[in-house]
Amino acid sequence: MISSPIPNSQGIVTYSSALTIVPTYECFNRCTYCNFRVDPNTRSWISLETVREQLQFAKSHSIIEILVLSGEVHPRSDRRSAWLCHIYNICQLALESGLLPHTNVGPLSRDEMAFLKPVNVSMGLMVEQVTPALLKGVHRHAPSKVPELRLQQLDQAGELQIPFTTGLLLGIGETERDRIDTLKAIAASHQRWGHIQEVILQPHQPGSHQKEARLPFTPEALAAFVSIAKQYLPADVAIQIPPNLVTDRQYVLTAIAHGASDLGGLGPVDEVNPDYHHPTPDSLGQLLSTENWSLAVRLPVYPQYDAWLSAPLREHVARWRQCLG
């Protein structure tokens, strides 16, 4: 079991300098709150030439992490293998550019996760909520949102020693009890494998492309829920909040005071919530300084997990750690 101090134990709040690359927006799920997906077979996949252009942009803008975030291809689709190879090639190009890939592309089989492990310093998947009640609500047309399938990913990642990020989506029809049950399920997986780097607490915010109207999860409720999450998550798991989805910035400070220690990936566009632009590190640093906290960039793999990486990946990570001092 890997253990480390809470990342903000020295008054430091972390973030990742990240660019999101989307292999495809096509997705066979139809979650009613989604502002990301398009229907399958309606848009071409990103070309590797376009990926190279985006990677060049990333390098020229001091970006470290390449978040590979994709719509989901059906597990039984005849395009599934090509999709997975395309993701692998994108990650490989990122490594060749000296950048660090982190892949989050929906549920994968154990073999698929093992296939992508050599080209990723970490991976992730949002559990969202473990209650099956949402399968009759916002997830009624989303077969891959079956809670058991999401939780299976956590254990597969642990078995494969893949540093992992997961999280909760808040305000999509779940109860307070459901949220606590989700925290407990994540904590149980981490206690088995010690592999979860951070848990994202993502508040639902209305977007211009979602299919059903839903009220936002308020900044006050998010800050309060951080305190609850601290009670149920292991101390060595960082709690992440997305500052662009906290509409009153003062509640970013409240959430940090309650135990949040990471602000996630900050980059040019939030692909999942395109109506909510990321604040800049400078503006966040100024905000944190009002409470005598400092903002520090981190890598998409936490130091205590470096030993889990292959030798080539460790070399990439070591160069970045040396660069960041």
Give the mean pLDDT per block of 10 residues along the chain (325 residues).
44 97 97 94 94 97 97 96 98 98 98 98 98 97 96 98 98 97 98 98 90 90 98 98 96 97 94 92 96 97 98 98 93
Distance CA 250, CA 322 (A): 34
Q: 295 near 285, Cβ under 8 Å?
A: yes
Which CA distances in Å does 144 have to 74, 128, 189? 9, 11, 19
Residue 210: CB atoms within 10 Å: 18
User: H helices within the chain, ranges in order?
Assistant: 48-60, 80-96, 110-116, 147-159, 176-193, 219-232, 250-257, 281-289, 311-324
Distance CA 129, CA 185 (A): 10
198: three-class secondary structure by DSSP: strand
Q: 64 near 18, Cβ under 8 Å?
A: yes
Q: Could you tell me the two tokens for 276?
A: 């909510």
Give the model's pLDDT for residue 238: 98
End-to-end CA distance of the chain: 27
Give the model's pLDDT for residue 213: 82
Full-model pTM: 0.95
Give the model's pLDDT for residue 7: 41
Distance CA 270, CA 268 (A): 7
Which CA distances in Å does 136 have to 107, 132, 203, 321? 20, 8, 21, 46
Give the model's pLDDT for residue 150: 96
Q: Where are the domains of the chain?
A: 12-324
Domain 12-324 matching CATH 3.40.50.620: the answer reads no
Contact residues for 104 (Cβ-Cβ < 8 A; gap 6+): 67, 68, 69, 70, 123, 124, 125, 126, 165
